Every structure is written in structure tokens, then in C-alpha cells.
Amino acid sequence: MNSDLNIQLQEAYKKVNLIEEQLAPDTMLKLYAYYKQATQGDTSLSSDSEIDLRNGFKFNAWLQLKGMTVEDAKIAYINLAKNL
């Protein structure tokens, strides 16, 4: 199951990277956060770390997924990619 999920995640990642039109910022943040959660789990950075605005939005999107399982994050990423 996990191996199949990893394959689906990589296929979804490739599909997203082939999209030529500009995606909405909230969609991009969701994709980023789900992928980070799916591949690295909960963020290990503290919110006190000095980061620029753009990376702050990315960090915050990932931080909101804290506690989500890696498997659930993979499924969420795959489903979001399918709907693009």
C-alpha cells in the first residue's frame, strides 16, 4: 500500500510540475504544504526562525498540517493534483 501511495505521489508531483498555467497562490501553498508533510512529516522549524514573507507563508501552510499523517498528506496531495 505505502509503495503504491509513493508511486501515486510521484506521478501527481510530475503532473503538477507539467502544468503551464499559473496556479492560484492558495493552491500552490496547499501543494507545497501537503508535499512537505508527505515527504518530511511535521515541520521541525520553530515559528521564531527568521524567514522572509514568501517563505513565511509556505512555512505557515506546512505548520497548519502539523499532526497530519504522512499517508494522509500523500492522499491529499494526490487528490488536489487530480483536480487541477
Domains of the chain by start residue, with CATH = 2-82 (1.20.80.10)
The pLDDT of residue 54 is: 86
pLDDT at residue number 77 = 98
Angle at 34 between CA 8 and CA 29, to 5 degrees: 125
**Res 67: pLDDT:** 96
Sign of CA dihedral 68, 10, 8, 5: negative
Per-block mean pLDDT, blocks of 10 residues, the chain (84 long): 90 96 95 96 71 86 96 97 95
For residue 10, CA distances in Å to 16, 57, 63 come to: 10, 24, 22
The pLDDT value recorded for residue 44 is 76
